[in-house]
Structure 1
Amino acid sequence: MKNTSTLAIGLIAGAVLTALTYTFILPHSGDSAANADNADSNAPLYWVAPMDPNYRRDAPGKSPMGMDLVPVYDDGGMDESPGTVTIHPNVENNLGVRTASVQRKSLHVPIRTVGYVQYNEDTLVHIHPRVEGWIDELYVKAAGEYVKKGEPLYALYSPELVNAQEEFLLARNRNNVNLLQAATSRLEALQMPAQAVNQLKQTGKVQQTITFTAPQTGFVDNLNIRQGFYVKPGVTILSIGALDEVWVDAEVFERQSNQIEKGLAVTMTLEYLPEKVWQGEVDYVYPTLDKDTRTLKARLRFDNPEYFLKPNMFAQVTIHSDLDDENLLVPTEAVIRTGKQDRVVIALGEGRFKSIEVKVGNIVNEYTEILSGLRDDDVVVTSAQFLLDSESSISSDFKRMEEAESMPSMVWTTATVNSVMAEHNMVNLDHAAIDEWGWPEMTMDFFVDQDLDISKLMPGMSLHLQITKADLGDYLITEIHIVDEDGNMMHMEGMDDMDDMENMEGMDHSGHSMGTDNADKEMDHSGHGGQY
């Protein structure tokens, strides 16, 4: 009985061990397939140089700088344009990424600048004598005094005026009409006051000193004389300016000059009366810019019944210019401004971001006008955009995905060889402008298709070549024609002599290969775009 129990326990233990072995130790065929699929899905797409993301290889190795290549994995199969950055939601939250939708609305563009209060020159009067003489009495003692029209300013003793009065009396005594008329005209030409002339006619006595009065009400300015001064024609004795209405000369930057026009509403404040706001308008826009300050001067007109505004005061001016058209606006903080380019980072959704180039218009406080580069339904990043832009701009073409897809995948161009790096299957070229891709003339590094033998290339050679854009945004040379001094082209494969060009079959006059479409070749990931 005891042996039977022992045997039963042994059989049960053996069954349990067998089950555990098959369950946890020995792999099932289904699990093996799943593990193999998972390994394939986690395999790197390619390896990239840490310091140059355009240097790519299909296997681990060293970069041209001797650094280990870094593996790049599949991002989920999404078709992205160059420069698209994908971050995890937790990272996005930690970075403090905030976004805002693009708006379209009319833009109020206030132009804030400085101004200087001046007399209204339409009412500014300068007083000059018509005769030589001495200031016998000066009734105005200092500049800035307020005078009313008809009040005395100064009394002048002038021998010329004395002689003119004597001639008038002599003509009148002789009852000579012609002489009397000539003498009267002379007194008027010498600006003898009408009151003095009437007194001369009534009394018949010559006045040694003539009192001159204020021609208008206002404030005395430019007082250049004192009692006893000798004056003569051409000397500015004083000026009188009215301050019931003043001018303000405002300076506007050159870039804002197209927004200024006559009749625009203006508000103005002064530091010594911060609670008071003056309302005026643009009265005149000067036709020329100041060559030193590069500013345009605009003349503003303000009523000044209480004489608060005084000449030469410094004022803060706001000219209200409205753009009535609907404008595409983004928050000003979203725009990344550089010396050569303005950019914004757009949010593509699902944690994807891309830096693109935009053209900036007017900038008004919290809003910036975008002339091109964005659409109405775009969302831009307003916080942490500099971090995203620094990552995206490494490989970004700064174009929208739709724009990049509309470009041809293959182009032909001419180039000159600078150097050949046979060990890397790479060449450095000076290529011509490529209008199809918007490229200017520049020097670039290119990887060459592995089917092409670049051992025949030498520095200084002229080439006619085909460049193909891969799916990942790389650029690969897929066909090369060598150009001789006479302009003949030789296909780099199978030709040893330039003179055999005429025997080539399947070539058109432009050097394009006939019957072979290199754009359809299966490309590896070794394409390389050079530095702009």
Structure 2
Amino acid sequence: MTFDLSHRARLGLAAAAIALAAGGIGYGIARLDRDQAPQQAAENGRKILYWYDPMVPSQHFDKPGKSPFMDMQLIPKYADGAAGEAGVKIDPARVQNLGVRVATAQRGLLSSGLSATGTIDFNQRDVAIVQARAAGFVQRVYARAPGDVVGAGAPLADLLVPEWAGAQAEYLAVRRTRDAALTRAARQRLALLGMPAGTIAAVERSGRPHNVITVSTPTGGMIKTLGVRQGMTVTAGQTLAEVNGLGTVWLNAAVPEAMAGRLRPGQAATAMLAAWPGERFAGRVAMILPDVQAESRTLTVRIELANRGGRLRPGMFASVDFGGASRSALLVPSEAVIRTGKRNLVMLALSQGRYQPAEVQTGSDAGGQTEILAGLAEGEKVVASGQFLLDSEASLSGVEARPIAGATTATVASPALYEAVGRIERIDAKGVTLDHGAVPALKWPAMTMTFRLGSPALARGFKAGDRVRFGFDQPPEGPTLLRMTREGVR
């Protein structure tokens, strides 16, 4: 009996020892789990909200692993990149690898001019046609050929006109009768036969017929066609030559149809040619041709240029700049604008390595700069290089673009959200009354209204009738002027 009790006691002690050991192991495992839990919930001090597949960002997972959609590891979503904070945060190392370059939206002078290319052509309004006045024979031709440049009165050919010989002899006979009426009638007959006044006068001076006439050019220029040869017979009205003047030439420039509204007849233009580097040839828009080239979607703008010395030769290639006064505008690099076809975006560079797309309304482009009409404030920073990759990252992270109405101006010195051009109607203590154009960002039509002055100094130096470009915002008190400059002056 004693043995049995002792044996049972030893068994109980062994069981207790095993239980204690198991409890210790369980405690150790539980403690290990508790120690590792913070590591799963945080990485480098950053709290993980969930894991996701960047190709299917809407699907969230509560632990890391391989994506069920793609053969790739899930990516953690950190709390410091939550939707409650603006933009998406990009690791600085990735930003450097992407070659991100940042530019500041700032005011500057935007040229309202337009550049295009074209070719020099003949002035088709300065064309002279040389025709035979009567039927005859070519007795002599002068050393002329198509392409020759000749002066006014240059001889082309000598024509023998038999019909004129008889008519001139009759006229001389009538003159000798001294009958004034018959003489006038006979002289008129010579003119009706196509005889030049100079030939008639020569007949009167010499008293003998002149049935050989020298055909000459009525104006100077280039011989485009020459249809007279030695020994040929010509008929009355036959074209012998065509001469195109070179005093002025046309520059036919191809202008995109989207820019056609910025041009008008009479507008100044300046041409530059490779043949005369550094020299500028001034001219004016003579005409905007009514048809559009279907292949290139361009209009032909005809510019008339003076051709002193005949240096501008048809066929030469030229670039043309249509003059226009510069004006003040909010500018960003053109490469910073993402044009989707439905809207225009820029990628804002925020603080602490965050980036957010923002919708903007763009205006004119010139010199690699784009005018921003709304959606961006002076002083805000935009990404000018690598913005497409950042925009893709923002889209995958579900970051919404900042709307135009959401642009902030709290950090800028001159926070003009909206811009317009108008004419001052009246200035008084209440503000400035402006007859202004449409404001597309606010969907305002052209109208006349009074704006409060953000500062009394804004109206100094201005008077009724001045054309101005102005910027304003819309606080609860009403539209308030924040900037005003004369049109074309920064």
Residues 13-92 of structure 1 aligned to structure 2 (within 5 Å): 44-56=48-60, 65=69, 71-75=76-80, 79-80=84-85, 84-92=87-95
Match of 1:347 in 2: 349
Rounded Cα–Cα distance in structure 2 between residues aligned with 1:235 and 1:111: 46
Give the superposition deviation at 1:343. Answer: 3.1
Residues 2-17 of structure 1 aligned to structure 2 (within 5 Å): none
Give the superposition deviation at 1:284. Answer: 0.8
Query: Aligned in 2, Cα 1:79/1:245: closer, same or farther, shift over 3 Å?
Result: same
Give the counterpart of 2:388 among 370, 386, 395: 386
Give the superposition deviation at 1:330. Answer: 1.1
> Structure 2: which amino acid aligns with 1:326?
S
Q: Which of 120-129 and 59-68 deviates more?
A: 59-68
The answer to whether the Cα contact below 8 Å between 1:106 and 1:324 also exists between their aligned partners in 2 is: yes
Rounded Cα–Cα distance in structure 2 between residues aligned with 1:337 and 1:207: 78
* Aligned partner of residue 306 in structure 1, secondary structure: helix
The answer to whether the Cα contact below 8 Å between 1:99 and 1:382 also exists between their aligned partners in 2 is: yes
The answer to whether the Cα contact below 8 Å between 2:375 and 2:404 also exists between their aligned partners in 1 is: no
**After superposition, what is the alpha-carbon deviation per residue over 1:162-209, rounded to whole angstroms, capped at 9, x for unaligned?**
454345345445655455434433433444222211122233332222
Q: Identity of aligned pairs, percent?
A: 34
Query: Aligned in 2, Cα 1:189/1:108: closer, same or farther, shift over 3 Å?
Result: farther
The answer to whether the Cα contact below 8 Å between 1:260 and 1:321 also exists between their aligned partners in 2 is: no
> Structure 1: which amino acid aligns with 2:134?
V
Give the counterpart of 2:217 among 196, 214, 217: 214
Rounded Cα–Cα distance in structure 2 between residues aligned with 1:345 and 1:373: 12
Rounded Cα–Cα distance in structure 2 between residues aligned with 1:402 and 1:244: 54
* Aligned partner of residue 237 in structure 1, secondary structure: strand
Give the superposition deviation at 1:257. Answer: 1.6
* Aligned partner of residue 309 in structure 2, secondary structure: coil
Rounded Cα–Cα distance in structure 1 between residues aligned with 2:342 and 2:83: 31
The answer to whether the Cα contact below 8 Å between 2:221 and 2:244 also exists between their aligned partners in 1 is: yes
Query: Aligned in 2, Cα 1:239/1:54: closer, same or farther, shift over 3 Å?
Result: same
Query: Aligned in 2, Cα 1:405/1:184: closer, same or farther, shift over 3 Å?
Result: closer
Match of 2:467 in 1: none
> Structure 2: which amino acid aligns with 1:185?
Q
Query: Aligned in 2, Cα 1:174/1:57: closer, same or farther, shift over 3 Å?
Result: farther
Match of 2:196 in 1: 193
Match of 2:433 in 1: none
* Aligned partner of residue 296 in structure 1, secondary structure: strand
Give the superposition deviation at 1:370. Answer: 3.2
The reply on whether 1:230 has 2:233 as its aligned counterpart is yes
What TM-score does the superposition give when structure 1 sets the normalisation length? 0.59
Query: Aligned in 2, Cα 1:242/1:47: closer, same or farther, shift over 3 Å?
Result: same
Query: Aligned in 2, Cα 1:64/1:166: closer, same or farther, shift over 3 Å?
Result: farther
* Aligned partner of residue 168 in structure 2, secondary structure: helix
> Structure 1: which amino acid aligns with 2:389?
L
The reply on whether 1:318 has 2:320 as its aligned counterpart is yes
What TM-score does the superposition give when structure 2 sets the normalisation length? 0.64
**After superposition, what is the alpha-carbon deviation per residue over 1:105-137, rounded to whole angstroms, capped at 9, x for unaligned?**
331255333333234445432212232222222
Match of 1:284 in 2: 286
The answer to whether the Cα contact below 8 Å between 2:252 and 2:303 also exists between their aligned partners in 1 is: yes
Rounded Cα–Cα distance in structure 2 between residues aligned with 1:335 and 1:396: 20
Query: Aligned in 2, Cα 1:167/1:329: closer, same or farther, shift over 3 Å?
Result: farther
> Structure 2: which amino acid aligns with 1:196?
T
* Aligned partner of residue 130 in structure 1, secondary structure: coil
Rounded Cα–Cα distance in structure 1 between residues aligned with 2:233 and 2:182: 31
Rounded Cα–Cα distance in structure 2 between residues aligned with 1:168 and 1:140: 34
The answer to whether the Cα contact below 8 Å between 2:359 and 2:404 also exists between their aligned partners in 1 is: no
Structure 1: runs of 5 or more not aligned: 1-24, 27-31, 407-532
Match of 2:371 in 1: 369
Query: Aligned in 2, Cα 1:42/1:278: closer, same or farther, shift over 3 Å?
Result: closer
Residues 403-482 of structure 1 aligned to structure 2 (within 5 Å): 403=405
The reply on whether 1:249 has 2:247 as its aligned counterpart is no
Rounded Cα–Cα distance in structure 1 between residues aligned with 2:340 and 2:404: 25
Match of 2:127 in 1: 124
The answer to whether the Cα contact below 8 Å between 1:148 and 1:218 also exists between their aligned partners in 2 is: yes
The answer to whether the Cα contact below 8 Å between 1:116 and 1:248 also exists between their aligned partners in 2 is: yes
Give the superposition deviation at 1:239. Answer: 2.8
The answer to whether the Cα contact below 8 Å between 1:147 and 1:217 also exists between their aligned partners in 2 is: yes
The reply on whether 1:133 has 2:130 as its aligned counterpart is no
**After superposition, what is the alpha-carbon deviation per residue over 1:267-325, rounded to whole angstroms, capped at 9, x for unaligned?**
3333344x351321224122413434432222323333332222x23222221333544
Rounded Cα–Cα distance in structure 2 between residues aligned with 1:402 and 1:162: 88
The answer to whether the Cα contact below 8 Å between 1:267 and 1:277 also exists between their aligned partners in 2 is: no
> Structure 2: which amino acid aligns with 1:355?
P
The answer to whether the Cα contact below 8 Å between 1:265 and 1:279 also exists between their aligned partners in 2 is: no
* Aligned partner of residue 116 in structure 1, secondary structure: strand
Rounded Cα–Cα distance in structure 2 between residues aligned with 1:297 and 1:147: 30
The total of aligned residue pairs comes to: 372
Give the counterpart of 2:332 among 330, 333, 336: 330
Rounded Cα–Cα distance in structure 1 between residues aligned with 2:118 and 2:343: 33
> Structure 2: which amino acid aligns with 1:297?
T
Rounded Cα–Cα distance in structure 1 between residues aligned with 2:202 and 2:273: 50
The answer to whether the Cα contact below 8 Å between 2:123 and 2:244 also exists between their aligned partners in 1 is: yes
Give the superposition deviation at 1:360. Answer: 4.0
Rounded Cα–Cα distance in structure 2 between residues aligned with 1:326 and 1:232: 67
> Structure 1: which amino acid aligns with 2:226?
L
**After superposition, what is the alpha-carbon deviation per residue over 1:433-479, rounded to whole angstroms, capped at 9, x for unaligned?**
xxxxxxxxxxxxxxxxxxxxxxxxxxxxxxxxxxxxxxxxxxxxxxx
Rounded Cα–Cα distance in structure 2 between residues aligned with 1:121 and 1:76: 68
Rounded Cα–Cα distance in structure 1 between residues aligned with 2:94 and 2:396: 20
Query: Aligned in 2, Cα 1:218/1:209: closer, same or farther, shift over 3 Å?
Result: same
Match of 1:96 in 2: 99
Rounded Cα–Cα distance in structure 2 between residues aligned with 1:336 and 1:76: 24
Rounded Cα–Cα distance in structure 2 between residues aligned with 1:150 and 1:278: 32
Rounded Cα–Cα distance in structure 2 between residues aligned with 1:66 and 1:141: 81
> Structure 1: which amino acid aligns with 2:334?
T
Structure 2: runs of 5 or more not aligned: 1-26, 29-33, 409-490
Query: Aligned in 2, Cα 1:113/1:162: closer, same or farther, shift over 3 Å?
Result: farther
* Aligned partner of residue 255 in structure 2, secondary structure: strand
Query: Aligned in 2, Cα 1:308/1:400: closer, same or farther, shift over 3 Å?
Result: same
The reply on whether 1:300 has 2:303 as its aligned counterpart is yes
